Each structure stands twice: as C-alpha cells, then as structure tokens.
Amino acid sequence: MNVLVINCGSSSLKYQLINSDSEEVLAKGLCERIGIDGAIVHQPKGGDKVKTEVAMPNHTEAVKLVIEKLTDPQVGVIKSLDEIDAVGHRIVHGGEKFATSVVLDGEVLKAIEDCNDLAPLHNPANLIGINACKAIMPNVPMVGVFDTAFHQTMPKKAYLYGLPLSYYEKYKVRRYGFHGTSHDFVSKRAAEILGKDRKDLKIIVCHLGNGASISAVKNGESVDTSMGLTPLEGLIMGTRSGDLDPAIITFIAGKEGISADEVINVCNKKSGVLGLSGGVSSDFRDLAAASAEGNKAAETALETYAYRVAKYIGAYAAAMNGVDVIAFTAGVGENDAKVREAVGQYLGFLGANIDPVKNDVHGEEAVISSADAKVTVMVVPTNEELAIARETVRLVGA
Ligand code: ADP
C-alpha cells in the first residue's frame, strides 16, 4: 500500500509517499513558509527537486498542493488521491497518554490536544496537519506516531526530576524524551545487522542531528534518554544548550535585562555549538572547516560537544550495568567521522575502541569498532519516515 508520511511544523510540512511493500520512497518534499508566502519543493523518485513559489495561506492549502504535486502528470507519481491508502503523522508529544502509535479518531485527537500544554510549539502544528489531511482525505485511515512513545518504558527513577513530587502529580513535569521513533528504529536495526535479538542486548543510541539525544535501550526497551520535559535538555546540540544549571536562567535574565522566556529562547535557538563557537555555525561541516583554519572557539565547541556525548555514554553504561552496542545515527552521527573519533577517545575504558579505517564511513550501515573491541560500535542511518510508514501499516494495513 501507499502511505503518505506527514511531519507538520508551525510553518512547514514535510512529506514522503512510501510504497510500504517495497519500502521505496515514491516522492518526497517540503512546503515552506506556510501562512507567510509559501513554496513547495517536490522530488519524485529518480527525479530532480522542483521548487514552486505559490501562496499557501494555511496548512489545508499546503496539503492540497502536496496532493496536486503527487498527482501531477509531469512530476507526480500516482494518478489520483485514491492511490493514497493511509496517512502516518509524526506527533511530537504524547505525554503519558500514548506509549504506542494510534489510529487517529475523534477521542484520540482530543487526548493529543490535551498534551498541547507540554509542547506548545509543536503539538498544535501537528494537529493542524492532521485536520488538514482529514479535510481533504476524509475516508483515508490515519495514524499518529509519537516522538515520546518509545521512551514511555522508562522507570520512575529515570523520568522523575529532583523536584517536589507535587509538580509531577499536578502538572506531569517529568522526563519524556524525544526522537523515540529514531531510537527505536536504530536499536532494532543495529540488533538485526548483528544477527541478534534486541531483547538480549544493551544498546546506547546516539542520535546526533541538529537536535541530538542519547538513549539507553535495554532488552528492547528505552530505560533512559537525555531529552526531558522538552527537547532542550541533555546533549549540546546545533543551537540548543542541553543541560544547564537552572539558576543560570534568572541570572542571565537579570544581567541582560530580558525575561526568563527570552533566555530560554536563547537556550533553544542561539546556543549549542552555534553559541559556543561564537556564532560560526550550527552545522558541523562549517565548524570543522573553521577549526581547521585555526578558529579556537569552533575547536572548543567541537571538543565540548564530544565530551558531553561521551559523558552520557558513560552514564548510560552505568544505568544498564553494561553496554553491548553503541550506535551513531542522524546527520552528524552518520556522516561526521571526526565527531565519532572524538567521542571514541573517551571510551577506551569500556572497551569500545573505534577502528580509524572502519570509521571512515558516511551515511551507511557499518561496524566501526576494532576486531578486539568488547563493545560493538556502529553507524546505523535512521529513517523516521520509514518507521512511521511501518507503524501506519501495522495499525491500518490490510
Ligand atoms: P534534523 O535534526 O534537522 O533532522 P539531521 O539529522 O538531518 O537534522 O542533521 C543535520 C546536521 O547534520 C547538520 O546541521 C550538520 O551539522 C550535520 N551534517 C550533515 N551532513 C554532514 C556531513 N557530511 N558531515 C558532518 N556533518 C553533517
């Protein structure tokens, strides 16, 4: 069957049409600047990207344009809407209500809306995307796949903060974790590649993209992860600070004469390696180039980044009382051999030795640890869209 996978943000909408039998991507694209002016970038399988500037006042119009492109005589890949058998939606926050993917019906939509409070920037946009698709494809079954769901297996000791319990009881303030679809996909695939059952393994997944998080996956279940109530906690990321002393927020607010919300905005958008490098870039290719040219701040940003990743790996090896596999994934994890090497320098004590020759891989599945390593270190490209398509078929497939 053909599954349309939708990842909807407040002013953007990413899509992929996937044939779930062959698992081929038939077409993919992105609607940008929805509600501002609008542009759609569409790419059919084997074809070039085509960008069209077109007014997109709202998400319903954006979905209509996606359908137009998918059925277009020139750049389309299907004849009509009837060839879309199901839609899978990425949903950021499922709170404690969703530990697995769900078919999106009336009651479920209300429960997702109840989670808006926990992800005010993301969930409302996800819901707008769902409603836009429902308006245009009322009879097509739809499934929601949550970024938080895979981490719902975390034990209390991993998800509670050291705060008054009443904040958890009243407001559900706790660690939720994100990138769950990726941590699930990559840990499963890592076990498959090794010919082992995930249930017998202790796996640490390092999802290092623009956003970045680490998870400890023990016997097939997430037992800890670095992102928290929001995606701001944990690793140093492209533009996010990761872990901080919370007292810094009001300290900076006082010094700079700005509000706590404004400081949080800086922590989300102007920090991470971008901030640490003094504004060089959030992109690791730019940082590597700047560092090679002698930019000390860029060099420090890269060192600080790798050190934080390594500290989390150490923590999660302790959390699971051991580790069998460390898997690197996402834009940086899959492509940046230097970052993997820098992290690997701290891992000798675990017996997770990276082989410099094997580590010279970019965006492909590989075992990169040395033959005598006690812990297998791997590169496992993630594919969140495929994971969403598979979940959709699992729930509504024939
Ligand atoms: P997102 O969180 O947006 O899904 P990705 O997982 O696609 O992010 O990661 C994007 C990041 O990956 C880029 O910002 C860049 O830092 C990094 N990246 C992509 N390709 C490379 C590469 N060839 N070498 C080093 N870093 C790369």
For residue 287, the ligand 1 atom closest to its alpha carbon is: 16
> Among 147, 240, 283, which is best to mutate for testing ligand 1, by the most ligand atoms less than 8 A from CB?
283
Contact 238, 282 (CB under 8 A): yes
What integer is the mean pLDDT of 50-70?
94
Residue 338 burial class via C-beta count within 10 angstroms: exposed 0-12, middle 13-18, buried 19 and up: middle
- The predicted pLDDT at position 144 comes to 97
Query: Stretch 165-184: mean pLDDT, rounded?
Result: 97
Long-range contacts of 242-248 (CB under 8 A, 24+ apart): 242/212, 242/272, 242/308, 243/308
- The pLDDT score that the predictor gives to residue 117 is 87
Atom 12 of ligand 1, residue of closest alpha carbon: 331
How far apart CA 218 and CA 224 sit, in angstroms, is: 9
Residue in the structure block whose two tokens are 């109530």: 229
Instruction: Determine which residue's CA is closest to atom 27 belonging to ligand 1.
Output: 332
Annotated catalytic, 85? no
| d(CA 259, ligand 1 centre) in Å | 31
E strand or H helix that includes residue 384:
helix 384-396
- Across residues 48-71, what is the average pLDDT? 94
pLDDT band at 9 (very low <50, low <70, confident <90, very high): confident
Cα 336 to ligand 1 centre (Å): 9
Q: What percent of the chain has pLDDT over 90?
A: 95
Residue 206, pLDDT score? 98
Domains of the chain: 2-146 (3.30.420.40), 197-379 (3.30.420.40)
Report how far ligand 1's centroid is from the alpha carbon of 179 (Å): 15
pLDDT band (50, 70, 90) for residue 259: very high
The model's confidence at residue 384, banded by pLDDT at 50, 70 and 90, is very high
The closest-lying atom of ligand 1 relative to the alpha carbon of residue 210 is 2
Confidence bin at 351 (pLDDT 50/70/90)? very high
The tens digit of pLDDT for each residue in 266-322 reads 999 999 999 999 999 999 999 999 999 999 999 999 999 999 999 999 999 999 999
What's residue 233's pLDDT? Answer: 97
Task: Say whether pLDDT at 121 is over 90.
Answer: no
Q: Determine whether 297 is exposed, middle or buried from the number of CB atoms within 10 Å of its CB (0-12, 13-18, 19+).
A: middle
Comparing 105 with 168, the larger pLDDT belongs to: 168
Q: CB of 3 within 8 A of CB of 392?
A: yes
Q: Write down the pLDDT at residue 10.
A: 83
Mutate to test the pocket of ligand 1, among 178, 205, 236, 335 (most ligand atoms within 8 A of CB): 335
Q: Whose CA is nearest to atom 13 of ligand 1?
A: 283
Across 182-333, where does the E strand assignment appear? 202-208, 212-218, 221-225, 325-329
Query: How many angstroms is it from 8 CA to the middle of ligand 1?
Result: 20
- Mean pLDDT for the stretch of residues 70-77: 96
Is the per-residue pLDDT at 398 higher than 80?
no
CA of 209 to the centre of ligand 1 (A): 5
Q: Report percent pLDDT > 70 for the chain.
A: 100
Confidence tier at 388 by pLDDT (50, 70, 90):
very high
User: Which one of 85, 105, 147, 286 is the catalytic residue?
Assistant: 147
pLDDT above 80: residue 20 = yes
Helix (H) or strand (E) holding 102: strand 102-103
Tens-digit pLDDT profile for residues 25-41:
999 999 999 999 999 99
Ligand 1 geometric centre to CA of 130 (Å): 27
**Ligand 1 pocket residues where CB is under 6 Å:** 209-211, 238, 282-285, 330-332, 335-336
Residue type present at position 176: Y
**Taking phi first (over 0 means left), then psi (-120 to 50 degrees means alpha), and beta for anything else, what does residue 220 get?**
left
pLDDT at residue 106 in the model: 82
Q: How confident is the model at residue 119 (pLDDT cuts 50, 70, 90)?
A: confident
The residue contributing the CA closest to ligand 1 atom 7 is 331
Nearest to 147 by CA among 171, 192, 178, 182: 178
Closest residue CA from atom 20 of ligand 1: 331
What average pLDDT does the chain have?
96
Predicted pLDDT at 111: 92
Specify the pLDDT at position 27: 98
Q: Please spell the DSSP secondary structure of 283-304, one letter per residue.
A: SHHHHHHHHHTT-HHHHHHHHH
